[in-house]
Chains A and B, each alone.
Chain A
Amino acid sequence: MTNEALIRDLRDALGDAHVLHLPEDLIAYEYDATIERARPDAVVFPGSTADVSAAVRIANEHDVPVVPRGSGTGLAGGAVPVLGGVVVAMTRMRRIVELNAANRIAVVEPGVINLDLQAACEPHGLRYAPDPSSQRICTIGGNVGTNAGGPHTLAHGSTVNHVLGVEVVLADGTATWLGGRQADVPGPDLRGVFCGSEGTLGIVTQICVALTPLPHEVRTMLAIFDSVEAASEAVSAIISGGVVPVAVEMLDQEIIRIVEPQMHVGYPLDAGAVLLLEVEGLPEAVAADAASVVAACEEAGARELRVAESAEEREGLWEGRKGGIGAIGASSPNFYILDGVVPRTRLPEVMSQVNALADEYGFRCANIFHAGDGNLHPNIMFNELDEGATERVLELGGEIMRVCVEAGGSITGEHGIGLEKRSYMEWIFSDADLDSMERLRLGFGAGERFNPCKVLPTGHGCASGHAAEMRGHLATPGVYI
């Protein structure tokens, strides 16, 4: 087997223009939004399902791995070609194949940008509900791969709840539909289990999504608190009051002081924490929900509540939230984004523990996260040039994940396991659990060829120390959560 033969076969099948193989071209495809690096042997840009099938078959013939890739915004190293092979970059397949407003579905290619689909739906009074903070750049295919969430997951659910069917190319190069154009296709929910499989079971080549109507009215509020603990108490109080807002996002003082001077969106600099809250529906329902939310916040000690009075104000509040992580990049030479989940009621104590741990380790930690879901995103700021800082940050990250697990939570809410968290899987799953997950992989015929060394902690040729694995997962500026 030679590399030249692989490149030649790929170029013959997909066309010279759609295959990259020179080292200077491959560099850009060595990493995603983490900084783990590994060089692929080739990057291909298929234009159709048949191209994807061809690329997979050729990779099989040459016995090299296949790694699917969207926009490369992943935060767990899921698109890094650790063992080389062929990166299948889906960015050229970006057609909205069908937008059927009467039946409220859209069929899209995987390279369609999330926000582009939103924009296409809007004139029909519809939306595609999942809105990860990276929606300006992330692809629907990538969203399927990670079962992406976002600020509105609280009420609207994650990607899997909006995907009706996916066309996938399996390990042997055959294409098949899982699910379909309607919900509740009979049989084991293959569509459901494929969502969030991080490109280890196959490559998604088309997606049929359900669209939902735009609400009559949206009300966005900012509740200002003196402490994270008080804001955390408010989150549970709001929801146990019988109202599930469509979004409950928290920003702590550290992140407010990073975001506000850069973005000027109106977050008070002296607040201990703010909650960004949103309710939607008929005007009458919005009024009732908002009143209930306000009462719960006041009860929990909110010192002020502001309501966005215009679309611009609302967008400003959201811009500060969605651009928050990017702003950290301008404030610290390096930072490490964590993604953990705890039961909502454990938020107050867990937030205290997270901040105490960061203090103990001597790092600044900014929290900007999906409080309603109990989905934390501590961002640990540091300078990798300080001796030993990187190791200590990784150690701190591990300790924070431990806190989440011990509180009855999980090690990732929306970013995925990828490379980053493989070695944490044993904290929450037994050998038998992991063995049953391996059975799924084998049932799909994927073995180790699709995106090797991802998700499961075991794998051929993937052994590496945890520290070495984690080292690469220090995010670069310009990422989103």
Chain B
Amino acid sequence: MTSGTVDLSEALPADGRRAAPDYPIDGAAPQIAQQPRTREEIANLLASATEAGLAVVPQGNRTALDLGRPIDRYDVALDMRGLDGIVDYEPADMTVQVEAGMTLRALRAHLAEHGQYLPADPPPGDDVTIGGLLATARPGAWRGHMPAARDLVIGMEVALADGSLVRSGGRVVKNVSGYDLHRLHTGALGTLGVIVEASFKLVPLPPATRSFAVRRPSVRDAARLAIELRDAALPTRALSVVAPEAAARLGLPDDAHVLLELAGYESALEAATSRVRDVTEHSGGGLDDAPPGAWDLLRDLAGSPDGVVLRLGVPATRIAATIEAARGLRGTAWGHLAAGSVVIHAPAIDVTSVRVLRRNVEAEGGFLVVESGPPALRAVIDPLGTATRDLVGALKRQFDPTGTLSPGRWEVGL
């Protein structure tokens, strides 16, 4: 092992240099910003940074950099958008191998030509990169109705802090060879390694979709109806309970609503719609088409860079109570039934209220995570909860013993 000064020029080719002030995180700019073109460049950069004791924060389209604790040190911005190609796509196999810097939007356009898609609808929209999609693993409205990205990832290549490039899984849809390290890096926010490529199992695009909104007098009524609709076992792709404040943001009347999306053949949707109508009329509600763009607006709201966004894992039967609690904090809230998740957006929420919310959902076996918010809040609300902190810390010491990658993003100091 060498010591003394490290020459970063080889690891940081001049044509990949970017303006550091364009990469602020929590108001602080790094010393260096680099956009590598190849995975070998990424590996070199990480090896050199590790040797020099520099902290590297991998980032894609910078949509989720305030998820997790404020990082302790930030020397190098690793911009992943230089790796944005499809490595291999075999439509008949329904698998795709894609570089991490490609956006979900670009991938979606490519796959749609063959009638396929990766059914992920994370906040804040399709501008997330594939690496970011996996590293943040945030659910959207489709979660629970469709398999999530974490379910469909079948292989991965990761650059580790020591500069090694390692693979797990493969390119086949069913595979139990070795440990599924691609799952470990899912949700890890790039703290254990930098995702450089991922392979996915794909699903067919539905031939048609229809979205409905049902107005109800209260959040509780809406949640009750949503459970009835869930139990009707229809070809549903999204089923959500929306508080009045959220409904208003979607262009709906200022009342609680159920939002429902059906996906499938026209003939099946026709039949499903009439079943939906039976259920809603039985409960005294009318069935309207959802306003155009309603689902995208919800995603925008969940990915809002302003204020605070919380995501809570709660059972379906607790969604109404959780939404009501959020309303008490002047939050705009909605819940996705199948995922068991409630999202709260608020201009500001004090630490004590967040702690109370967390305690209440944890008592039910659920969880709370601050998906974005001011550093002062994120610094005191441990993103992991308490259960697995020791284990995540032990894994961090194995995969990134020098703390090169986004140090402090989890509260598992070295």
Q: Which of A147, A183, A373, A409 has the most CB of B within 10 A?
A: A183
A contact residues around B234 at 8 Å (CB):
282
CB pair A343–B179 under 8 Å, yes or no, is: no
Q: How far is the CB of B347 from chain A (nearest CB, A)?
A: 23
B contact residues around A215 at 8 Å (CB):
233
A253 at the interface (CB under 8 A from B): no
B170 at the interface (CB under 8 A from A): yes
A contact residues around B394 at 8 Å (CB):
443-445
B399-414 interface bits toward A, Cβ cutoff 8 Å, 1 = contact, 0 = none:
1000000000010000
B8-16, B22-30, B92-100, B324-332 - the one binding chain A: B92-100
A443-474 interface bits toward B, Cβ cutoff 8 Å, 1 = contact, 0 = none:
11100000000011000000000000000000
A contact residues around B175 at 8 Å (CB):
341, 410, 412-413
CB pair A182–B187 under 8 Å, yes or no, is: no
CB pair A343–B93 under 8 Å, yes or no, is: yes
B32-40, B281-289, B382-390 - the one binding chain A: B382-390
B305 at the interface (CB under 8 A from A): no
Q: How far is the CB of A175 from chain B (nearest CB, A)?
A: 11
B317: contacting residue among A103, A157, A196, A435, CB under 8 A:
A103
A233-250 contacts to B, CB under 8 A, are: 236, 239-240, 242-244
B172 at the interface (CB under 8 A from A): yes
Supposing A188-B185, A190-B388, A192-B150 touch, asked if A437 and B171 sit within 8 A by C-beta, the answer is no
CB pair A195–B180 under 8 Å, yes or no, is: yes
> Closest B-chain residue to A200, C-beta based?
B179
Inter-chain CA distance A436–B365, complex, in Å, is 32
A299-356 contacts to B, CB under 8 A, are: 341-345
A178-196 interface bits toward B, Cβ cutoff 8 Å, 1 = contact, 0 = none:
1011111111111011011
A151-184 contacts to B, CB under 8 A, are: 153, 157-158, 160-161, 170, 176-178, 180-184
B349-365 interface bits toward A, Cβ cutoff 8 Å, 1 = contact, 0 = none:
00000000000000011
Inter-chain CA distance A258–B283, complex, in Å, is 56
> Closest B-chain residue to A343, C-beta based?
B93
> Closest B-chain residue to A102, C-beta based?
B317
B contact residues around A177 at 8 Å (CB):
387-388
B52 at the interface (CB under 8 A from A): no
Q: How far is the CB of A250 from chain B (nearest CB, A)?
A: 14
CB pair A342–B268 under 8 Å, yes or no, is: no
A contact residues around B178 at 8 Å (CB):
417, 425, 428-429, 433-434, 437, 455-456
B177 at the interface (CB under 8 A from A): yes
Q: How far is the CB of A180 from chain B (nearest CB, A)?
A: 6
B contact residues around A170 at 8 Å (CB):
391
B299 at the interface (CB under 8 A from A): no
CB pair A197–B203 under 8 Å, yes or no, is: no
CB pair A240–B168 under 8 Å, yes or no, is: no
Inter-chain CA distance A49–B315, complex, in Å, is 25
CB pair A282–B235 under 8 Å, yes or no, is: yes
Supposing A180-B365, A189-B184, A193-B179 touch, asked if A437 and B168 sit within 8 A by C-beta, the answer is yes
A contact residues around B398 at 8 Å (CB):
439-440, 442-443
CB pair B148–A184 under 8 Å, yes or no, is: yes
CB pair B139–A184 under 8 Å, yes or no, is: yes
B186 at the interface (CB under 8 A from A): yes
B279 at the interface (CB under 8 A from A): no
B interface residues, how many (CB within 8 angstroms): 87
B176 at the interface (CB under 8 A from A): yes
B contact residues around A456 at 8 Å (CB):
178
> Closest B-chain residue to A147, C-beta based?
B176
A284: contacting residue among B265, B316, B387, CB under 8 A:
B265
> Closest B-chain residue to A201, C-beta based?
B179
B contact residues around A437 at 8 Å (CB):
168, 178-179, 181
A contact residues around B251 at 8 Å (CB):
none
Supposing A187-B410, A440-B184, A443-B397 touch, asked if A180 and B366 sit within 8 A by C-beta, the answer is yes
B contact residues around A430 at 8 Å (CB):
166-167
A281-305 interface bits toward B, Cβ cutoff 8 Å, 1 = contact, 0 = none:
1111101100000000000000000
A374 at the interface (CB under 8 A from B): yes
Q: How far is the CB of B185 from chain A (nearest CB, A)?
A: 7
Q: Which of A102, A125, A216, A343 has the most CB of B within 10 A?
A: A343
CB pair B188–A188 under 8 Å, yes or no, is: yes
A contact residues around B72 at 8 Å (CB):
none
> Closest B-chain residue to A170, C-beta based?
B391
A109 at the interface (CB under 8 A from B): no
A contact residues around B176 at 8 Å (CB):
146-147, 149, 158, 196, 412-417
A contact residues around B95 at 8 Å (CB):
343
CB pair B172–A284 under 8 Å, yes or no, is: no
B contact residues around A375 at 8 Å (CB):
174
> Closest B-chain residue to A425, C-beta based?
B178
Inter-chain CA distance A439–B164, complex, in Å, is 13
Inter-chain CA distance A242–B151, complex, in Å, is 20
A11 at the interface (CB under 8 A from B): no
A443: contacting residue among B139, B165, B399, CB under 8 A:
B399
B160 at the interface (CB under 8 A from A): yes
B286-324 interface bits toward A, Cβ cutoff 8 Å, 1 = contact, 0 = none:
000000000000000000000000010111110000000
B contact residues around A373 at 8 Å (CB):
172-174
Q: How far is the CB of A236 from chain B (nearest CB, A)?
A: 5
CB pair B391–A183 under 8 Å, yes or no, is: no
B contact residues around A193 at 8 Å (CB):
179-181, 183-184
CB pair B147–A153 under 8 Å, yes or no, is: no
B3 at the interface (CB under 8 A from A): no
B144 at the interface (CB under 8 A from A): yes
B272 at the interface (CB under 8 A from A): yes
Inter-chain CA distance A413–B172, complex, in Å, is 9
B217 at the interface (CB under 8 A from A): no
A192: contacting residue among B164, B186, B390, CB under 8 A:
B186
Q: How far is the CB of A50 from chain B (nearest CB, A)?
A: 18
Inter-chain CA distance A157–B176, complex, in Å, is 13
CB pair A187–B187 under 8 Å, yes or no, is: yes
CB pair B339–A182 under 8 Å, yes or no, is: yes
Residues of B within 8 A of A (CB): 90-95, 115, 137-139, 143-144, 147-148, 150-151, 158, 160, 164-168, 170-181, 183-188, 191-193, 203-204, 207, 227, 231, 233-235, 264-265, 267-268, 270-272, 311, 313-317, 339-341, 364-367, 369, 383-385, 387-388, 390-392, 394-395, 397-399, 410
Q: List 7 A-B contacts (CB under 8 A).
A: A178-B391, A180-B367, A186-B187, A282-B264, A373-B174, A436-B193, A443-B395
Further contacts, 5 of them, CB under 8 A, given A425-B177, A455-B178? A102-B316, A183-B144, A184-B137, A282-B271, A443-B395
